[in-house]
Structure 1
Amino acid sequence: MPSLKLVTFDAAGTLIFPHPSVGEVYAEIAAEHGIQTQPDALEARFKAAFKRLSQTSRQELGALDDRAYWRLAVADTFGAQCPEEPAFSALFEDLWQAFATARRWRLDPYAHALFEELRALGLQLALVSNADARFHQVFTELGLKEAFDGFFLSGEVGAEKPEPPIFRVVEAAMGARGPEILHVGDSPRQDVQGARDAGWHALQIAQPQGLQPVLPEVRRLLDA
């Protein structure tokens, strides 16, 4: 079996996390627009809306750009409380910009130490995320730009996990093939199923353990 050469990571829910929660940020910004709602309720509705969208491929949704995609998510999240235009566009713009900097995100505290340990093992690192170009600024502010050899964002690649094309793009760009790659992420469908269907190794992580299982799994694969 080929030796491991590349470890790829998902971003949101794996390396970075909304801070405070999406529900709290949405409730705070909604209040600035005259919409009073509870953070917990918004959090639950956002998760449901995002799950519905994430289970639908971009091809099925049609030719939506990233902003149009997220407008659907925001409108679904607010439901009956969603304002009419032009108020909705103003609300959406503030929500869109809120997550465009590191102010609303926190990085797993073990991340940089883990990257150093993986580098010491001679491995390449890449980030593979269903995200848009906003996140380049977030990654820069969190010190992630120097940590990776490649960034593959679905909004730029034109394909998203778990669809095969994004995994093929990573292989071609990084010079590694399926059995030489481990993908780390939190989503059973997008990360684990997608990577395994592409012939990669996959590791699903969850809180509170976070990234702690990554190094043992890498060593296991290197020793296999």
Structure 2
Amino acid sequence: MTGARGVLFDFSGTLFRVEPAASWLRAALAGAGVAAADDEVARLTALLEEAGAQPGGTRPSRVPAHLADVWAERDLGPERHRAAYTGLAREVPLPEESLYEALYARHMEPAAWRPYADAAEVLGELRRRGVRTAVVSNIGWDLRPVFRAHGLDELVDAYVLSYEHGAQKPDPRLFRVACEALGLPPGDVLMVGDNRRADGGAGGIGCAVRLVEHLPVEERPEGLRPVLGLAG
């Protein structure tokens, strides 16, 4: 193990991964009662992925000028987050107007997220070792229900979410809040994430930083254990 007394984890791409875009679209279509042939689903999925309309999914190939400001601040508040992602989705003509809100609502459902295969084991092992943990995420909505639905909430000591604190990673303020929530100095804390720039900001206050690969769940069966030095 690292010798750290506390570990901060990023959410998307680190502990959990959002469902594939085609599954996201199909769930929204079903919820809205809209039928679509497989080839149409595939076509719309590709366009939505290019637009970067799925939170936690593929980043936009480009951000339209009229969305640039809200995109830059998307994780500072629920309304900005919704406006950014529904705005990107509206760059793609969909068969029903209601689908734009249905897509946004779907990504917040616990069923839209899957924990990485070793997430529960790693969080459980840290708890057994007395290592305190927090989730530090750039996000515009409350992710706690996702952890509860997947049985991981009891293994997390604190949640530090950008929209609740008015700061986005790599802003050092968010990492300081997280360390304070664990009652530990930054030098005793490790940050684990998938984004060198955002999560690497923890290094600016003295935390150690280790990165995992942002891969589909099936392609990363044990990415967390190695970076934490835990035996398989």
Per the TM superposition, whether the score is higher than 0.5 is: yes
**Structure 2 portions without partners, runs of 5+:** 53-57
Distance 1:15 1:158 in 2: 23
Amino acid at match of 1:215: L
Give the distance between the partners of 2:141 and 2:76, measured in 1 at CA: 15
Shift of 1:144: 1.8
Which of residues 44, 50, 73 in structure 2 aligns to 1:44? 50
Structure 1 CA distance for aligned equivalents of residues 174 and 61 of structure 2: 20
Q: Are the counterparts in 2 of residues 118 and 215 from structure 1 also a CA contact under 8 Å?
A: no
Where does residue 199 of structure 1 map in the other structure?
Answer: 206
Report if the CA contact (8 A) 2:24-2:107 is conserved: no
Q: Are 1:129 and 1:154, in contact at CA under 8 Å, matched by a contact in 2? A: yes
Looking at structure 2, the residues matched to 63 and 131 of structure 1 have their Cα atoms a distance apart, in angstroms, of 5
Contact 2:9–2:193 under 8 Å retained in 1: yes
- 1:1-224 aligned at under 5 Å gives the runs 4-19=4-19, 21-26=20-25, 29=28, 36=40, 37-46=43-52, 47-49=58-60, 61=73, 65-81=77-93, 88=97, 90-192=98-200, 194-206=201-213, 207=215, 208=220, 209-216=222-229
Deviations 1:129-175 (A, max 9, x none): 11234312111101121011111111212212111111121122221
Root mean square deviation, CA, Å: 3.2
Q: Determine the C-alpha separation between the residues in 2 that align with 1:62 and 1:24.
A: 24
Q: CA deviation at 1:8?
A: 0.9
TM-score when normalising by structure 1:
0.77
The CA distance in 2 between the partners of 1:150 and 1:117, in whole Å, is 17
| Stretch moving more, 94-103 or 141-150 | 94-103
CA distance in 2, matches of 1:96, 1:201: 34
Residues 168 and 181 (structure 1), Cα distance of their counterparts in 2 relative to 1, 3 Å cut: same
Contact residue 42 and residue 78 of structure 1 kept, 8 A: no
CA deviations over 1:113-136 (Å, ceiling 9, x no partner): 112222233211111111234312
Q: Between the two proteins, what is the percent identity of the paired residues?
A: 28
Amino acid at match of 1:43: E
Q: Is the 8 A contact 1:23 1:42 kept in 2?
A: no
**2:133/2:158 contact within 8 Å kept:** yes
- Deviation at residue 213 of structure 1 after TM alignment: 1.7
